[in-house]
Chains A and B, each alone.
Chain A
Amino acid sequence: EVQLVESGGGLVQPGGSLRLSCAASGFTFSTYAMHWVRQAPGKGLEYVSAISYNGDSTDYANSVKGRFTISRDNSKNTLYLQMGSLRAEDMAVYYCARRGDRGHYYVDNWGQGTLVTVSS
């Protein structure tokens, strides 16, 4: 069974930093591209970032480009999101997500999410 377990969320002040982690199990992590998707309270889904299976290729939403960095450690089956210069509008539940392998860039498995609160 595919499992994605996020951690690292919490309360951070505006301008601060936070690193999210996603521990993957139940599949061969090193063969799948991965995404981060977020959802602000009461709002819809928003793409944040993606990384290829080997980490060679990354992509970011314009809203986080230059402030967030996605990375992965295939030896630890873990995905990361380093977030910096955090703003109130970054407050959201952050989901780790596995890219499906049958239809371009869709998600076939999601973690339970970790809440990031940005407030002074």
Chain B
Amino acid sequence: DIQMTQSPSSVSASVGDRVTITCRASQGISSWLAWYQQKPGKAPKVLIYAASNLQSGVPSRFSGSGSGTDFTLTISSLQPEDFATYYCQQANSFPLTFGGGTKVEIK
């Protein structure tokens, strides 16, 4: 199975800050990576698919980059509604695997 390692596991940031979350795959997955946002008590929501493609309706302050084994999710200017937990997921092969999550908290 492909292991997905996210870092950091949590980050404290202020509104307006730039936040970067990284995800590393244990083997190459080309660009087959997705990012999700999850708020407490809610289902996840896709932000980015195929590493860098913004899902329709997602604000442009979210961006993704990377290929192979190393990927990044960037929030260019953190907004109050962005405080949540973020997960990466390798979309290359079964079994699908998720990173452990990054909780973005208010500083």
Partner of B49, one of A102, A111, A113: A102
Size band of the B side of the interface? 20 to 34
| Total inter-chain residue pairs, C-beta < 8 Å | 72
Residue among A45, A47, A62 facing the most chain B CB atoms (10 A cut-off): A45
Residues on A with C-beta less than 8 A from B89 are 45, 106-107
CB under 8 Å from chain B, chain A span 96-120: 100, 102-108, 110-113
The reply to whether B97 and A47 contact each other, CB–CB distance below 8 Å, is yes
Is B46 a contact partner of A106 (Cβ separation < 8 A)? yes
Interface size class on chain A is: 20 to 34
The SS class assigned to the B binding surface is loop
Give B33 Cβ to nearest chain A Cβ, in Å. Answer: 8
Q: B40 CB to closest chain A CB, in angstroms? A: 11
Residue of B nearest to A113 (CB): B43
Can you spell out 26 A-B residue pairs with CB atoms less than 8 angstroms apart? A44-B98, A45-B36, A45-B38, A45-B87, A45-B89, A45-B98, A47-B98, A50-B94, A50-B96, A59-B95, A60-B95, A62-B95, A100-B46, A100-B49, A102-B50, A104-B50, A105-B91, A105-B92, A105-B94, A106-B34, A106-B46, A106-B50, A106-B89, A107-B36, A110-B45, A113-B43
Query: Which 4 residue pairs spanning A and B have beta carbons closest together?
Result: A103-B50, A106-B34, A103-B49, A110-B43
B binding-site residues for A, Cβ under 8 Å: 1, 31-32, 34, 36, 38, 43-46, 49-50, 53, 55, 87, 89, 91-101
